[in-house]
Amino acid sequence: MTLNLRVMAPNRIVWNSEVQEIILSTNSGQIGVLPNHAPLLTALDIGILKIRINGQWSTMALMGGFAMIDNNQMTILVNEAEKAVEINPQEARDTFQIAQKKLAQAEGRKQVIEANLALKRAKARLEAIDATPPSPVPN
Amino acid sequence: MASVACNSSLSVAAATVQCGAGKKRSSGGRKAVACPAFEGLSSRSLSLRITESVDLNSELVSKRPESRSVTVCSLKDLRDRIATVKNTQKITDAMKLVAAAKVRRAQEAVVNGRPFSENLVKVLFNVNSQLQTEDIDIPLTQIRTVKKIALVVITGDRGLCGGFNNYVLKKAEERMKQLRKIGVDFTIVSIGKKGNSYFKRRPHIPVDRYVDSGTAPTTKEAQAIADELFSLFVSEDVDKVELLYTRFVSLIKSDPVIHTLLPLSPQGEVCDINGNCVDAADDEMFRLTTKEGKFSVERETVRTETPEFTGVLTFEQEPVQILDALLPLYLNSQILRALQESIASELAARMNAMNNASDNARDLNKSLSISYNRQRQAKITGEILEIVAGSTVTI
């Protein structure tokens, strides 16, 4: 049996293909998913998603959502997903620094919540770029 | 004879000046009548004909130069007017077509969002069935006594779309009046340039934030708005968030409506202010089609299938936590949807407005052409009469 992965954002389908392995950042830590996984429903934190196809790892930054595995079909619904290859490293670093500054200057509960969200997103983006793909695994 | 010539040249000059002014509606006097202004064309051309016949019959010789040059002037003026109207018509026609093409794109955006919302509803349903028995406490569903309301007003970025923006703003004013009456505080989150400029001109209305909406709403924009509302609500700055947007009913009808966005009901129901709730699984889609060469809209209600999962689903976290992750997604998709509907309504309103403008231009063009041809014929008749009169004199 093969594992099929679908990543969906509100306006488009980000990813739809067969994969060999998936690593997710869930609310309770990272989990790895291989084919024939038991049915599972989990909430996803703002973080990275790693996908292995033909021994190659690709990374994506996910902006919060949830994942569902049922019958070798994995469905991930997210607010926004950004593929690592599509992220501009310089821009991501700048955004991260701006977000850090904003959090330091934030006053009041509302601003702190907002700044925290922004920082988390910026961090996920950075992680996605920095996640150096592990050396290809022979099949 | 000399005095007459002087007189006539003067009056011609006066008439020319008035022709140049064109738009000014001058009252009384033959010369004023000779130049068509922008309004009341038919009556004007009628009186013009009368003066001309008076000219020809009574003071044929003395008035001849005046009547001729006046006619030439208004003929040219009419020709210019016809050209202007034609150009305007071209523009309005083009704008109508552009709007129609964009409505199609807006519709595609809605269709592209379908798989996401379908899956969301499925999971929401299943998690809900697991949670029926449990007492849950999630920030986004917390119902508090309402002291302050955030009113999200979605308008368009551009004008030339009939009463679209005005209807939304009127509805907003109405709601604000209601809230003032019952003594509930409020703040506005304004989305769209038209609303922004409206609220900026009225500093007495408290506005939390101005957001520009683009022509194609993206998840990022929806996310920014959702973040704002989320933090407003969770920090207990406001106790309720209402969304005022234009619901797309059909190409000729759209309704400004108010929906309660927050607190969310854990069942994913959408409620309007009167308390009528729609289940999340009931979804309406609009589709632009052509019927007998004209655009029309079909609106269909889609009931999302909510099948039970195969096998026993393991919940990695507590169901409450999963719902906590689900509801922001739901909030986001609700906002995106409202933005999309609002844009579709705006485009439809623009299509209508431009259609009416084109029709008006066509009518105007027609009546202008008639009066132009009438004058042209009168001029020719005058010339023939001159020739005939001239030949009788020589004989």
pLDDT in tens, B254-309: 888 888 887 876 555 555 444 444 444 444 544 444 444 455 555 555 555 555 55
B372 falls within a domain: yes
pLDDT in tens, B226-241: 888 888 888 888 888 8
- Indicate whether B17 pLDDT > 50: no
Orientation of helix B319-394 relative to helix B60-112, angle to 10°: 160
Q: Residue B243 sits in which domain range?
A: 123-353
B353 falls in which pLDDT band (50, 70, 90)?
Answer: very high
Nearest Cα residue in chain B from A65:
B325
| Judgement on whether residues B231 and B341 belong to the same structural domain of the protein | yes
Nearest residue to B223 via CA among A89, A117, A105:
A117
Q: Any chain A CB within 8 A of the CB of B37?
A: no
B117 falls within a domain: no
| Judgement on whether residues B334 and B365 belong to the same structural domain of the protein | no
Tokens of B166: 């005005």
**Exposure string (b/e) for B352-378, b if CB count within 10 Å is 16 or more?**
bbbbebbeebeebbeebeebbeebeeb
From A16's Cα to the closest Cα of chain B, the distance in A is 12
| Judgement on whether residues B365 and B346 belong to the same structural domain of the protein | no
Q: pLDDT value at position A1? A: 73
Query: Span A87-103, mean pLDDT?
Result: 86
Q: Any chain B CB within 8 A of the CB of A73?
A: no
Contact A43 B311 (CB under 8 A): no
Contact A79 B223 (CB under 8 A): yes
Query: Span B84-94, mean pLDDT?
Result: 94
To the query of whether residue B161 is one of the catalytic residues in this protein, the response is yes
CA torsion sign for B242, B244, B250, B253 is positive
C-alpha A105/C-alpha A93 separation (Å) is 19
**Cβ–Cβ under 8 Å, residues B141 and B199:** no
**Cβ–Cβ under 8 Å, residues B121 and B306:** yes
Contact A64 B328 (CB under 8 A): yes
Q: How far is CA A117 from CA A81, B230, B246, B320, in A?
A: 15, 11, 30, 20
Q: Any chain B CB within 8 A of the CB of A76?
A: no
Q: pLDDT value at position B366? A: 94
Using an 8 Å CB-CB cutoff, list chain B residues near A114. 227-228, 231
| Judgement on whether residues B145 and B201 belong to the same structural domain of the protein | yes
Name the more confident of B173 and B249: B173
CATH of the domain at B266: 3.40.1380.10
Nearest Cα residue in chain B from A46:
B325
Q: Any chain A CB within 8 A of the CB of B119?
A: yes
Nearest Cα residue in chain B from A79:
B329
- Indicate whether B107 pLDDT > 50: yes
Least confident of A60-64, B32-36, B94-98, B242-246: B32-36
B219 falls within a domain: yes
B190 falls within a domain: yes
C-alpha B167/C-alpha A11 separation (Å) is 28
Of A10, A38, A66, the CB nearest to B113: A10
C-alpha B283/C-alpha B87 separation (Å) is 43
| Judgement on whether residues B49 and B81 belong to the same structural domain of the protein | yes
B102 falls within a domain: no
- Interface residue of B123, B138, B208, B219 to substitute, partner A, most A CBs within 10 Å: B219
Matching residue, tokens 């569902």:
A68
What share of chain B has pLDDT > 90, as a percent?
Answer: 24
| Judgement on whether residues B328 and B378 belong to the same structural domain of the protein | no
Tokens of B377: 């014929």
Contact B112 A11 (CB under 8 A): yes
Q: Any chain A CB within 8 A of the CB of B115?
A: yes
| Judgement on whether residues B373 and B348 belong to the same structural domain of the protein | no
pLDDT in tens, A37-71: 888 888 888 888 999 988 888 888 888 888 888 88
pTM: 0.69
A122 falls in which pLDDT band (50, 70, 90)?
Answer: confident
Contact A40 B228 (CB under 8 A): no
From B220's Cα to the closest Cα of chain A, the distance in A is 7
| Judgement on whether residues B18 and B161 belong to the same structural domain of the protein | no
| Judgement on whether residues B199 and B228 belong to the same structural domain of the protein | yes
Three-state helix/strand/coil letters over B115-173: HHHHHHHHHHHHHHHHHCCCCCCCHHHCCCCCCEEEEEEECCCCCCECEHHHHHHHHHH
- Indicate whether B355 pLDDT > 50: yes
Contact B317 A64 (CB under 8 A): no
| Judgement on whether residues B344 and B363 belong to the same structural domain of the protein | no
- DSSP character for B341? H
Taking one residue from A and the other from B, the number of pairs with CB-CB distance under 8 angstroms is 119
C-alpha B156/C-alpha B190 separation (Å) is 11
B222 falls in which pLDDT band (50, 70, 90)?
Answer: confident
From B323's Cα to the closest Cα of chain A, the distance in A is 8
CA torsion sign for B158, B160, B166, B167 is negative
Contact B311 A70 (CB under 8 A): yes
| Judgement on whether residues B362 and B347 belong to the same structural domain of the protein | no
Name the more confident of A90 and B91: B91
The residue from B6, B73, B161, B277 that is catalytic is B161
Of B228, B312, B332, the CB nearest to A79: B332
B157 falls within a domain: yes
Q: Any chain B CB within 8 A of the CB of A63?
A: yes
B115 falls within a domain: no
Q: How far is CA B233 from CA A96, A110, B140, B277, in A?
A: 25, 9, 8, 21
Contact B316 A40 (CB under 8 A): yes
| Judgement on whether residues B76 and B166 belong to the same structural domain of the protein | no
Query: Span B143-149, mean pLDDT?
Result: 85
Tell me, what's the ipTM? Answer: 0.74
Radius of gyration of chain B (CA): 32
Q: Any chain B CB within 8 A of the CB of A47?
A: no
Q: pLDDT value at position B333? A: 81
Nearest Cα residue in chain A from B333:
A10
From A61's Cα to the closest Cα of chain B, the distance in A is 14
pLDDT in tens, B148-180: 999 999 999 888 888 899 999 999 999 999 899
Domain count, chain B: 2
B127 falls in which pLDDT band (50, 70, 90)?
Answer: confident
Q: Any chain A CB within 8 A of the CB of B313?
A: yes
Q: Any chain A CB within 8 A of the CB of B183?
A: no
Q: pLDDT value at position B54? A: 40
Using an 8 Å CB-CB cutoff, list chain A residues near B123. 41, 66, 68, 77
B105 falls within a domain: no
C-alpha B265/C-alpha B330 separation (Å) is 11
Contact A75 B222 (CB under 8 A): no
